[in-house]
Chain A
Amino acid sequence: MVDSATQSGTVSGFFFGIILKFVFALLAVVKFVRSFYFQSTYRVEALTLSPHKTPQIIRNDVTKLSKVPRHIAVILDRKQKHVEGGGVEGLLSDVGEVAAWCIGAGASELTVYERTGVLKSLPLQDVYNAIEDRLRMYFGNSSSATFKIFNRQNDGTKSLGPSAAGSADPKLLINLISESNGRKLIVDVTRVLSDMVAQNVTSPKDITLDVIDRQLKERIGSEPDLLIMFSSEIDLQGYPPWHIRVTEIYCSPANNGNVSYLVFMKALHAFATAKFKLGR
């Protein structure tokens, strides 16, 4: 069944082994040249991009696009403490930056996935304040950058919004999620539904896709239109599987964990040019 000629001879195996090593070496060279090329074009592009800490410039970048996602998700990593932009501090400033870009671009919902849940374990007020500080650097004290933040727990969500009573709807909703909102949440929902069947509250045939979808949405929000990774390779890291059904996924091989405005803009650009068709 398996081609015997390719498996048998140790002599041919020896030669094939050498060729494979040669191909690996070739691949290493290709990878090196590619990353060098990517990084240099990337630097040039970053230079042509004007300093962006003003909302007008983000808006100018966005007006060229035919459409902008309503709901953006990002996967963020906590970097080691001693590196620049590392630790929880670095993570919080990344969240603040992305939130500012989202508001500037006109998205109305942002989901931040951090696998370990370190953001969710912080006092929500601290996270809120850190984001607010960061937004002030972009928008000043104007009320154009209001937001509401949700700490998504499978058994109940805590939220924090603008404090002034009677203020208008917040510009951006921010969901904090982690690995425990992924497959574990589907397990939790299965338990709830299965208990309901056991107690004759509902019957198995009523557990439709829509019912499950509603249960999951209630707990961690809707499916994002665009998911941005800042790593050089695609890794969902356990992102809630139900929620990436038709999400546009963006990942730049030129980037290496850097939460940069350039990657964000490139992702928006890819989203705008992607053709959306489902099944049809």
Chain B
Amino acid sequence: MEVQTGIFAAPLRKLAVGVLQQGPVPQHVAFIMDGNRRYAQKRGQETKEGHNSGYNTLSRILDFCYQVGIHEVTVYAFSLENFRRPTAEVEALMEIARTRLRQICDRGDLVERYGIRINFIGDLSLLPEDVQETCRYVADFSRKNTHSILNICMPYTARDDIAHSIRTIAKNKVNSNEIDESTIRDHMYTAGSRPLDLLIRTSDTNRFSDFLLWETESRRTQRGTHIVFSKSLWPEYSVFELFWTLVKWSYSAE
């Protein structure tokens, strides 16, 4: 995988990483990667091209996150609502999953470099059989890694996750007096993930679109979630913009 550097050339990026590491670093960051299609449209490309550019941005951003020392990253890769998109586009996204997921497990690539365990969040059984197989392979391959975590939400919606948790609790016949917020949390697909420090959504859309609704913490609690709406389209989201967002987080956390 080629890591494109954008405006942040390698030495400059190293400097940014070194600087950020001197302050507090968020432990869990989530991304809603919105704007691939608008990016393609703007440049007169096919939708598929937009998603490919989006993937390149993702690998660049992930690389930077783990270098800085962010322990856990969660990405909204595919919403349950996305199944309603044109078949060709859904297929293009599945093709990215098929090829790229195996690729990042290659020797010397992302997974090995940062010791990443990959978790899939959502109901995998809704995906095509071969994509499921790839997901199982990748999850299995990275299971023993303990250094960092990448949660890939696919196919996922927050409401579906809460409903899935409630259903599981009812099925397990948990005594209703013993049910509290932590019971619901523990039965979600996202159980076990760290408190969410930062949620970033791109493409100037100020909505959650059914992502991590339960996990977003009030800023009044000890470790609240900072919510950042960026105006950039996802393929245009730069390492520099992320750097600046992390500086701001660090500043207010200090």
Contact = CB atoms under 8 A, between A and B. Distances in A.
Given A187-B179, A194-B179, A235 B219 contact: yes
Q: How large is the interface on A (under 10, 10 to 19, 20 to 34, 35 or more residues)?
A: 35 or more
B1 interface: no
B193 interface: no
Interface in B198-231: 205-210, 213-214, 216, 218-220, 224, 226-227, 229
B247 A247 contact: no
- Majority secondary structure, A binding face: helix
A242 B162 contact: yes
Contact of B220 (A23, A195, A196, A237): A237
Given A6-B18, A190-B169, A207-B163, 20 more contacts: A17-B22, A19-B18, A23-B247, A115-B220, A190-B179, A194-B169, A194-B170, A197-B173, A198-B176, A235-B219, A235-B224, A236-B227, A237-B219, A237-B220, A241-B213, A246-B209, A249-B206, A249-B229, A274-B205, A280-B84
B62 to A, nearest CB: 14
B167 interface: yes
5 contacts: A16-B15, A183-B181, A190-B169, A196-B170, A197-B170
Nearest to A16: B18
Closest 7 CB pairs of A and B: A279-B81, A204-B171, A235-B219, A241-B213, A16-B18, A191-B176, A197-B170
Contacts of B240: none
B18 A12 contact: yes
Nearest to B207: A246
Contacts of A270: 206
Interface in B119-169: 147, 158-160, 162-163, 166-169
Interface string A1-38: 11101110000110011011001100110000000000
A183 B169 contact: no
B77 to A, nearest CB: 13
Contacts of A115: 220
A192 B177 CA distance: 10
Nearest to B89: A280
A252 B207 CA distance: 15
A3 B67 contact: yes
B159 A246 contact: no
A191 B214 CA distance: 17
Nearest to B116: A1
A245 interface: yes
Contacts of A233: 219, 226
B220 A3 contact: no
A1 B163 contact: no
Give the residue among B147, B166, B218 with the most A Cβ atoms within 10 A. B166
Contacts of A64: none
A247 B214 contact: no
A20 B213 contact: no
Q: How large is the interface on B (under 10, 10 to 19, 20 to 34, 35 or more residues)?
A: 35 or more
A27 B247 contact: yes
A83 interface: no
A52 B229 CA distance: 31
Q: Which of A194, A204, A207, A248 counts the most chain B CB atoms within 10 A?
A: A194
A234 B227 contact: yes
A27 B248 contact: yes
B206 A250 contact: yes
B180 A187 contact: yes
A209 B169 contact: no
A20 B216 contact: no
B218 A235 contact: yes
Given A6-B21, A245-B159, A193 B166 contact: yes
A195 B17 contact: no
Contacts of B208: 244-247, 249
A265 interface: no
A237 B213 CA distance: 12
Interface in A194-225: 194-198, 204-205, 207-209, 212-213
A238 interface: yes
B96 interface: no
Contact of B170 (A184, A193, A234, A238): A193
Interface in A230-263: 233-238, 241-242, 244-250
A279 B85 contact: yes
Given A6-B18, A6-B21, A235-B219, A241 B158 contact: yes
B14 interface: yes
Nearest to A194: B170
A17 B15 CA distance: 11
